[in-house]
C-alpha cells in the first residue's frame, strides 16, 4: 500500500520549482516569440531565428494582424491549485516590435504619414507597447541622396514618441536586428523575476541594500554594514584592501568618517586621513610602513564631503 503524498510538501516543491523557473536563464524557455513571416525576409531577418535559438526562447511563424511584427507571450509552467489540480496558462506580454525598411520609412516621412501609420498599427495590436525598428535607413539615404532630410526624420520620430509613446531603433545590419530582438526577448523573459526582486527589496518598512550576484553585500538591519563600508572604500580608485582597513581602524563606521570630515572642516578635512599608517599584509605598524598620503586623502574627502555636484575627484 502506497503512502499518500504530503500536500504541504508538494506545495513547497511546486513553489521551489516556480522560483527556479523565474530565474534568468531558466525563464527563457517559457517565452514564445511570434514572428510574422515578413520579418524574416532578406536582408534584415537572416539572423533572427539563430539568435532566438541560441537564447533558448521558443518561436513560431504566424501572420500577425499587422505585417512585419514581432509579438511575445509566456507559457506559465504548470501550477498546483488549492484542489490539487495542475494548470498551465498562456499570458500575452504587452510588447510588440514593428519592422520598417528604410525605403518605406522615408516614404512615410515625406508624405507625413508616419504618425497615422503608427496609430493604425497600435489599433491592430491593442494592449501592447510598440517599438519601431527601422532597418537600413542610412544605407537607403546614401543611395538616394536628397530623399529625406535629417531634420524631417528626427521631427517625425520625435512626433510619434511624444504622441504615441513609441520607442525606436535605427539599425543597419541583420546582426543588429537579431541582437535587438533577442535582447528584448531576454528582458521580457526576465521581467517577472526582476519585478519580484524589486518587490522583495522595496516592500515593507525596511529597505534591504543587497543583491544576489557575486561580490555584492547584503545588509539587513545592522548586519553587513561593516562589509558594505569596506567594499565601498575599495571601489575608490587607488584604495586597496590594506588602505581600507587602515581607514576603518581609525574610523570604524561610515558615520564616524563623515563626522570626522565635518569636524575638520574645509581647511583640515582634505588632510584628515593623510597620516594614517598602513599595515602591510596584516603585519604590525612600523616606522617604515607607508601612509595614506595627502593626495589620496584629498580624493576621499572630496568624494564624501564635497557639496559641489561638478567636483572632480
Q: What is the pLDDT of residue 205?
A: 47
Q: What is the pLDDT of residue 114?
A: 95
Q: Is residue 2 part of a domain?
A: no
Phi, psi of 58 (to 5 degrees): -85, 155
Q: Is residue 11 part of a domain?
A: no
Tell me the C-alpha distance between 218 and 193, whole Å: 18
CATH number of the domain enclosing 291: 1.10.150.670
> Are residues 233 and 185 part of one domain?
no
Q: What percent of the chain has pLDDT above 70?
A: 83
Q: Average pLDDT, stretch 124-132?
A: 93
Q: Is residue 117 part of a domain?
A: yes
Q: Average pLDDT, stretch 295-304?
A: 90
> Are residues 285 and 156 part of one domain?
no
> Are residues 180 and 35 part of one domain?
yes
Q: Which residue range is the domain that position 160 belongs to?
A: 19-201
Residues 6+ apart with CB under 8 A from 95: 71, 72, 128, 129, 131, 184, 188
pTM of the complete model: 0.65
> Are residues 191 and 114 part of one domain?
yes
**How many Cα atoms are found within 13 Å in the side-chain-facing hemisphere of 122?**
18
> Are residues 235 and 156 part of one domain?
no
Q: Is residue 206 part of a domain?
A: no
Q: What is the pLDDT of residue 1?
A: 45
Q: Average pLDDT, stretch 277-301?
A: 76
Instruction: Give the count of domains, the chain.
Output: 2
Tell me the C-alpha distance between 131 and 122, whole Å: 10
Give whichever of 122-136, 195-209, 229-243 has the largest mean pLDDT: 122-136
Residues 6+ apart with CB under 8 A from 208: 200, 201, 218, 219, 220
pLDDT of 87 strictly over 70: no
Q: Is residue 233 part of a domain?
A: yes
> Are residues 242 and 158 part of one domain?
no
Four-residue CA torsion sign, 135, 137, 139, 140: positive
CATH number of the domain enclosing 143: 3.40.50.10130
Count of beta carbons in the 10 Å neighbourhood of residue 252: 12
Phi, psi of 54 (to 5 degrees): -60, -35
Q: Is residue 9 part of a domain?
A: no
Give whichever of 163-167, 210-214, 232-236 has the largest mean pLDDT: 163-167
Q: Is residue 209 part of a domain?
A: no
pLDDT digits (tens, 9 = 90+) for 130-168: 999 999 999 999 999 888 889 999 999 999 999 999 999
Q: Is residue 5 part of a domain?
A: no
Q: What is the pLDDT of residue 96?
A: 96
Tell me the C-alpha distance between 275 and 55, whole Å: 54
Q: What is the pLDDT of residue 54?
A: 92
**Do the bridges between strand 86-101 and strand 167-171 make them parallel or antiparallel, or are there none, so unpaired?**
unpaired
> Are residues 132 and 243 part of one domain?
no
**Do the bridges between strand 129-135 and strand 86-101 make them parallel or antiparallel, or are there none, so unpaired?**
parallel
Q: Number of helices (H) and strands (E), helices first, in the chain?
A: 11, 6
> Are residues 251 and 134 part of one domain?
no
**Do the bridges between strand 69-80 and strand 31-35 make them parallel or antiparallel, or are there none, so unpaired?**
antiparallel
> Are residues 164 and 122 part of one domain?
yes
Query: Which residues is 293 bridged to in the sheet?
Result: none
> Are residues 114 and 68 part of one domain?
yes
> Are residues 247 and 180 part of one domain?
no
Q: Average pLDDT, stretch 2-28?
A: 74
> Are residues 114 and 236 part of one domain?
no
Spatial CA neighbour of 274 closest among 263, 261, 262: 261
Amino acid at each position: 500500500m502506497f503512502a499518500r503524498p504530503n500536500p504541504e510538501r508538494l506545495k513547497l516543491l511546486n513553489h521551489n520549482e516556480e522560483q527556479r523557473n523565474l530565474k534568468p536563464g531558466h525563464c527563457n524557455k517559457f517565452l514564445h516569440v511570434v514572428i510574422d513571416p515578413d520579418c524574416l525576409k532578406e536582408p534584415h531577418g537572416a539572423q533572427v531565428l539563430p539568435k532566438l535559438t541560441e537564447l533558448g526562447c521558443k518561436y513560431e511563424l504566424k501572420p500577425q494582424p499587422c505585417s512585419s511584427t514581432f509579438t511575445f507571450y509566456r507559457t506559465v509552467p504548470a501550477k498546483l491549485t488549492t484542489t490539487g489540480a495542475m494548470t498551465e496558462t498562456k499570458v500575452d506580454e504587452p510588447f510588440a516590435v514593428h519592422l520598417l525598411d528604410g525605403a518605406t520609412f522615408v516614404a512615410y516621412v515625406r508624405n507625413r504619414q508616419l504618425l497615422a501609420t503608427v496609430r493604425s498599427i497600435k489599433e491592430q495590436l491593442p494592449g501592447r507597447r510598440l517599438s519601431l525598428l527601422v532597418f537600413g535607413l542610412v544605407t537607403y539615404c546614401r543611395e538616394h541622396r536628397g530623399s529625406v532630410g535629417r531634420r524631417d526624420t528626427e521631427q517625425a520620430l520625435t512626433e510619434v514618441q511624444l504622441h504615441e509613446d513609441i520607442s525606436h531603433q535605427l539599425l543597419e545590419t541583420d546582426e543588429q536586428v537579431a541582437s535587438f530582438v533577442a535582447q528584448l526577448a531576454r528582458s521580457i523573459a526576465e521581467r517577472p523575476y526582476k519585478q519580484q526582486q524589486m518587490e522583495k527589496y522595496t516592500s515593507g518598512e525596511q529597505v534591504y541594500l543587497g543583491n544576489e550576484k557575486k561580490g555584492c553585500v547584503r545588509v539587513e538591519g545592522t548586519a553587513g554594514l561593516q562589509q558594505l563600508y569596506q567594499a565601498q572604500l575599495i571601489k575608490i580608485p587607488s584604495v586597496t584592501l590594506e588602505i581600507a582597513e587602515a581607514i576603518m581602524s581609525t574610523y570604524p563606521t561610515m558615520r564616524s568618517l563623515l563626522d570626522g570630515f565635518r569636524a575638520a572642516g574645509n581647511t583640515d578635512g582634505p588632510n584628515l586621513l593623510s597620516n594614517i599608517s598602513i599595515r602591510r599584509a596584516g603585519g604590525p605598524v612600523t616606522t617604515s610602513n607607508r601612509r595614506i598620503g595627502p593626495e589620496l586623502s584629498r580624493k576621499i574627502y572630496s568624494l564624501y564631503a564635497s557639496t559641489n555636484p561638478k567636483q572632480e575627484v
